[in-house]
Amino acid sequence: MGRIDKNGKPAGTGKPVTDNPWEALRRFTAARIALGRAGVSLPTQAQLAFQLAHAQARDAVHLALDVDALTAQLQERGIGAAGETLVLDSAAPDRLAYLQRPDLGRRLSDASRAQMLAAPFAVAAQARPYDIAFIIADGLSSLAVGQNAAPFLAELMPRIAPENWRIAPPVIVRQGRVAVADEVGELLGAKLVVILIGERPGLSSPDSMGLYLTWMPARGLTDAGRNCISNVRPEGLRYEEAAYKLHYLMSEAHRRGLSGVALKDETAGQGGELDVRGNFLLGGE
């Protein structure tokens, strides 16, 4: 601990905040490093920034998903015709129950399940008529899917168009968790399901979206049967990078008939069209 002079400033520095020698590394990360200190405390600016980030994370958790706005965004990008998007609810009746009972967010409400069992889904699902189904759920950050789901899918769709996959109508699930996609995908009759979901907010990323892919979805599957792509957002894993990785996993899942721990993401080794950014720890720029 450094000495403090009579004016409350670190002795010998001539300024109220003592800089951290790691200051130059801050340009490589949004993590809270090299904040400096004022005496034995954080500088006021860093403390206020922390409080703002904490408030933004809390807001992201409790903010209700604007289904109408999300549906409009999808339609503007040609994803789901008017009236085609299915809007469902999990078994969690409200946000408090969703947060306290994770199990309720993993299955559909009775009303939504009955909606899915109505024709034509009840008959069509037996033959798995769809090659892929996209589910969008608020998860722990409706802000994340509200900002990222539609533009990400707009980036992905041209990549998968040459595959000629039969795509199910888009589905939005309120108060949903990852596993709800297994039930929805099974009832739709999809061979492969991808759920776009808001991830638990961090103090530098309240808008991070996750992608989970499952082959032959069915209730009761565990996380070992899924593949995950995390932190999809402009300041994290960019849409084009995430779309490239997801397309690879989707293609391999169809080719090999599996997902999860048996399916590895080998896009980094292939290089491909990804703009691999340098790692400062390895001397990149």
Exposed, middle or buried: residue 7 (CB in 10 Å: 0-12, 13-18, 19+)? exposed
- Looking at residues 273-280, what average pLDDT do you find? 48
**Using CA atoms, how far apart are residues 125 and 175, in angstroms rounded to an integer?**
24
**In the chain, domain spans:** 65-266
Q: Has residue 226 got a pLDDT over 60?
A: yes
H-type alpha helices, the chain: 44-62, 67-76, 95-100, 102-105, 110-117, 121-124, 142-160, 180-188, 239-256, 267-270
pLDDT at position 18 over 70? yes
* Residue located via tokens 């109505």: 118
- List the structure tokens of 122: 């009840």
Handedness of CA 229, 96, 71, 116 (dihedral sign): positive
Higher per-residue confidence, 165 vs 123 = 165
Higher pLDDT, 126 or 7: 126
Q: Which of the 8 DSSP states describes residue 19?
A: P
Question: Beta strand pairing status for 86-89 and 192-198?
Answer: unpaired
Q: Is 228 annotated as a binding residue?
A: yes
Helices (H), 93-238: 95-100, 102-105, 110-117, 121-124, 142-160, 180-188
Comparing CA positions, the residue from 243, 265, 247, 85 lying closest to residue 151 is: 243
In this predicted structure, what is the pLDDT of residue 17?
Answer: 74
Higher per-residue pLDDT: 198 or 21: 198
Which band of pLDDT confidence, cut at 50, 70 and 90, is reported for residue 205? confident
Per-chain mean pLDDT for the chain: 85
Fold of 65-266: Rossmann fold (3.40.50)
Q: Is 178 annotated as a binding residue?
A: yes
Residues 6+ apart with CB under 8 A from 31: 204
**CA–CA separation, 202 vs 199, rounded Å?**
9
Q: Is 163 marked as a binding-site residue?
A: no
pLDDT at 282 over 50: no
pLDDT at residue 103 is higher than 80: yes
pLDDT at 273: 56
Query: By mean pLDDT, which of 5-14, 64-73, 167-176 is the weakest?
Result: 5-14
**Average pLDDT rounded to a whole number, residues 73-94:** 89
139 neighbors 52 (Cβ within 8 angstroms): no
